[in-house]
Structure formats: structure tokens, C-alpha cells
Amino acid sequence: MSPSSRARLRAPAVVATALLTLLIGLLGTAPAQAGTGSAAARTWNVLVGEQSKDMAIQGMRFLPGEIWIHQADSIRFVSNSAELHTVSYGKPPLPPTSIANLEADAFKPVGGPLFDPKARWTNSGVIAPPTPGVPTVRTYQLKFAESGTFTFYCILHGQMMNIVVHVRHQGAPLPHSQAYYDRRAHAESRHIIRDGYALMHETMERASATHVFVGAMDDTAMVMRFMPSLDHIRAGTTVTFDMSANQGVVPHTVTFAKLTGPGGKHVDSGTLLPKAGGGPDHFTWTFGKAGTWHYICEFHDDMGMVGDIAVRS
């Protein structure tokens, strides 16, 4: 780009700044910070979660996971996956020892839009796309008036999904730009999704026709799939649906809409939880009738967590 075209591009911005200065001068109401040489307050973007295009892999990270900002700056947390997340700080009102408590804590926004580090509990509410039965927000903005270092986390995924926010005095140098964080976020997101698919393939290799894994999770990624999702068996075969590939606490179900058991009730595991979450961590069913039986996870079918059991007589 030639110097003259660069100057032309810059010209409108210069004009706009001059107009603004003139306007402030005319109104006589310059902001308190004007003239001190400090930069204007900025809003930084942080992505909440990440996912593969098919939604099979859900990442449990804030991107970036560490950020440096100035006093009076804000952070806008933006939903980046179908999975539910929160931005939380402090101690939740209810001990997060059950799914019901977790939901009660997560669903209720507390505090903000000005962050108060002395408050016992600050919570965004659930950051996610619109989800049936769950109050959600797409974005959540917090302004930081006090300097210090603050660690926020997602109450639904625990302390391992966290972001460290360094708030520096105005005028102090900041190590990175938004463009840097965006580049890092992109690279880290690709990395997490690659790891998630690797976890999926590993889990598939351990699965068999009589042993279906219900999701998988390590410390960065979740696999929202039944593995295998299409299972061929003979009538009379017992299949175990197993949660043990999930290292963290996540609920799933194995729910058949059209297959009925004794008493005409449809076959449903109810909420399954990994051992760490108190279980029950598996569900077994003996398939008598020939046919192809479709089933879903009631929590994650919108992410494609569905399967079929094909039974031959």
C-alpha cells in the first residue's frame, strides 16, 4: 500500500476524531478522563466454549484462558458452542453436589454489569444458544473498576474451565492485543477439537456390540456421541450403555421413544452420571424384538447424540 492511499484511509478517522473533539468542546462536557492521556475504556472479547461443526466435540475452555486488561475496561463473553456454560466468580449459594443444585446456581444471574470482587458470588446465568427449558443469554458483559487478578470459572464444568483476568492500572502496559487473543483462540480451538476426535476414536476402539459408551470426556473435550451410534445385534442380546469414558461429571440419558418394556413403559435409563457424579453410571437392556430401535440422549440430542440398535431375529 502506498503512503498516499494509507493517508486516504486514515483521513475519515482523523476527521471523525476532530469532529468529536469539537463537539465535546462545544458542549463543554468533556469526560473526566479526557486530557489525562489515558486510553479510552475498551471492550475485550472472550469466547465461551467451542465445538466441532457437527457438534460431536465440545470444548470446555474460555478462549483466551488468560487476559490482561485495564481498569474501566469491559469483557464481553460470547457463546461459542451449543453446550451450556457460565461465567462465575466466588462461592455459589448452593453446594454444587447435585445436578439440581448446579442448575439452580447456574441458571440465576447474580451481580454485574459492574464486577464486584468483594461479592460472595457473581454469575452470568447460562451462556448458550436458545435451549428448551433453560434461560440463556448469548453474551455477558462485565466492567472491571478495580485492579487485581481474578479467576472466573464455569460452574457447570468446574474449576478446570476457567479464565484468569488481570486488571492493570490505566496507563500500565498490556502484553497482548485483541488480535493476538483471537489468533490464539483459533489455534487452541482447533487443537481441542483434534484432541476430542482422538478421544472419540480411542473410545470407539474399546466399544463392542454389547458395550456402548455413552459420551466421553477428558480434561478439555467432551464427545457428545453414543459409541458406536449404530449397533447390530441378535435378538436376546444384552447391551450395556456405559458412562465410564467420562472423566468429569456430565449427565446423559439412553431414551427409546418407540421401544417398550414390561408394562408398556418405554425404555429409558433416566439420568445417568459418571461414578464421580454419584451414578448410576450404566444402563443395561436385553433386546427381544427384532427391528431398528432409535434412541436419544434427552440432554444432547440437539447436538446429534442419537443412536440406533438394529436387532435381527
Q: Is residue 252 a contact residue for Cu ion (CB under 5 A)?
A: yes
Q: Is residue 300 a contact residue for Cu ion (CB under 5 A)?
A: yes
Stretch that binds Cu ion, among 131-139, 162-170, 178-186, 252-260 (CB under 5 A): 252-260
Q: Cβ contacts of residue 86 below 8 Å, gap of 6+? A: 106, 123, 124, 125, 126, 127, 154, 155, 156
Q: Environment class of residue 301 by beta-carbon count within 10 Å: exposed (0-12), middle (13-18) or buried (19+)?
A: middle
CB closer to Cu ion, 150 vs 226: 226
Question: Phi and psi of 302, rounded to 5°?
Answer: -70, -15
CB closer to Cu ion, 156 vs 297: 297
Q: How far is the CB of 16 from Cu ion (least distance, A)?
A: 50
CB closer to Cu ion, 162 vs 255: 255
Q: Is residue 299 a contact residue for Cu ion (CB under 5 A)?
A: yes
CA distance 252 to 246: 10
Q: How far is the CB of 223 from Cu ion (least distance, A)?
A: 10
# chain residues binding Cu ion, by CB under 5 A: 5
Stretch that binds Cu ion, among 112-120, 138-146, 227-235, 302-310 (CB under 5 A): 302-310
CA distance 67 to 285: 49
Residues 206-245, mask of contacts with Cu ion (x by CB under 5 A): ----------------------------------------
Binding Cu ion (rule: CB under 5 A), the pick from 56, 87, 297, 309 is 297
CA distance 127 to 60: 13
Stretch that binds Cu ion, among 132-140, 150-158, 285-293, 295-303 (CB under 5 A): 295-303
The dihedral of CA 44, 45, 49, 52: what is its sign? Answer: negative
CA distance 142 to 1: 38
Q: How far is the CB of 91 from Cu ion (least distance, A)?
A: 28
User: What letter represents residue 100's amino acid?
Assistant: A
Question: Which of 270, 267, 276 minimizes the C-alpha distance to 246?
Answer: 276
**Cα-based torsion angle of the residue sequence 25, 30, 35, 40 in order, rounded to the nearest 10 degrees:** -120
CB closer to Cu ion, 85 vs 300: 300
Q: Do 109 and 136 form a contact (C-beta atoms < 8 A)?
A: no
Q: Is residue 61 a contact residue for Cu ion (CB under 5 A)?
A: no
Q: Do 179 and 202 form a contact (C-beta atoms < 8 A)?
A: no
Stretch that binds Cu ion, among 66-74, 175-183, 204-212, 301-309 (CB under 5 A): 301-309
CB closer to Cu ion, 56 vs 69: 56
CB closer to Cu ion, 127 vs 297: 297
Helix (H, G, I), strand (E, B) or coil at 223: strand
CB closer to Cu ion, 167 vs 224: 224
The site for Cu ion (CB under 5 A) is made up of: 252, 297, 299-300, 305
